[in-house]
Amino acid sequence: PKMLNYSYGVIHSHIEKMELPVCIGQDIYGNPVSWDFADLETLLISGEIGAGKSSLMRVILTTWVKYTSPEELRLVLVDLKRADLGLFHGIDHVDALCFEAKDMRKPFALLRAEMYRRGDLLLEHGVTHISRLPFKLPRIVVVIDEMSIVKRETDLVEMIQQFASQGRALGVHTIIAMQRPDADLLNSALKANLRVRISGRQADAINAKVAGVIGAEEIDAAARGRMKIKIDEVKEFQAFFLDGGACKELLSPYKTLVKDPEPELEVVSQSIFGLLEKEEQR
């Protein structure tokens, strides 16, 4: 199909047994393209303007908000394009929403400290993954939209690389989105830790190779929402479409506070850490 509108009711039967489900479209045989982000915990999304990256991000995050409780999932969102993630302002699951590089340092430092704390918990209890702890900790997902904007902020890039490389056992997951894949940012170490890669159309084979999705340059430029995904092999699919207005309507029941139309530059709470302490005390 050339267009697939997002419907949570339609995809729910495909995801109900997953912990952190991703269901993003259909392949050429009409099968759902889905996986459990709790198992494949890092994702790179890239592609030219109009490829459907923004809609794809809305689909993934909206599904999580509807499927999980704030006690199960915490979100750290970075929207350096100031384009789409502001829709999630005021959602209980969101611990930080940053629009500039300087605003990322506080929540990232808190998150890194939380990773160290979780590592200590694994050692204390003699286990290798948070799922084996005697108490439940929420999953934490860091989303960075247009990472190329922080390319010169080496401290931030190093922390993002740390989240992607060390977060697996700690329940910390990473989504990186960028329009044009950057070979300097996507070095071999970082790319190796981005286990799922999705690309819309790329300008040429070189960009497709950097994005880690061979053949993305062959996608028809007129086919909006047509993408390729690489997990074990490269597969073409049509992504669900979810525009900003429909997304806002779906999210409205999950917003606890009425916010101004223009969100603040930084919204940081201690929710991740407060919730974790409560769970640990139980």
Is 53 among the annotated ligand-binding positions? yes
Is residue 274 marked as binding? no
- Taking only the tens place, the pLDDT of each residue in 75-93 is 999 998 887 899 999 999 9
Q: Is 71 a known ligand-binding residue?
A: no
pLDDT given for residue 1 in this prediction? 76
Please return the burial class of 134, using the count of CB atoms within 10 Å of its CB with bins 0-12, 13-18 and 19+: exposed
Q: Is 47 annotated as a binding residue?
A: yes
Taking only the tens place, the pLDDT of each residue in 127-185 is 999 999 999 999 999 999 988 888 888 899 899 999 998 999 999 999 999 887 777 77
Q: How far apart are CA 140 and CA 137, in angstroms?
A: 9
Q: Which of 146, 207, 150 is nearest to 178 (CA)?
A: 146
51 is in an annotated binding site: yes
Tens digit of pLDDT at every position of the chain (282 positions): 788 999 999 999 889 889 999 999 999 899 999 999 999 889 999 988 877 889 999 999 999 999 999 999 999 999 988 878 999 999 999 999 999 988 999 999 999 999 999 999 999 999 999 999 999 999 999 999 988 888 888 899 899 999 998 999 999 999 999 887 777 777 656 777 888 999 988 888 888 888 888 888 888 877 888 999 999 889 999 999 999 999 999 999 998 754 444 444 333 334 555 544 444 454
Q: At what angle do helices 244-251 and 53-67 cross, to 10 degrees?
A: 10
Backbone angles phi, psi at 165, to 5 degrees: -90, -30
pTM, two decimals, is 0.88
Q: Assign domain 40-234+245-281 to a CATH class.
A: alpha beta
222 is in an annotated binding site: no
Is residue 165 marked as binding?
Answer: no
Could you tell me if 47 and 197 are in contact, meaning their C-beta atoms sit under 8 angstroms apart?
no
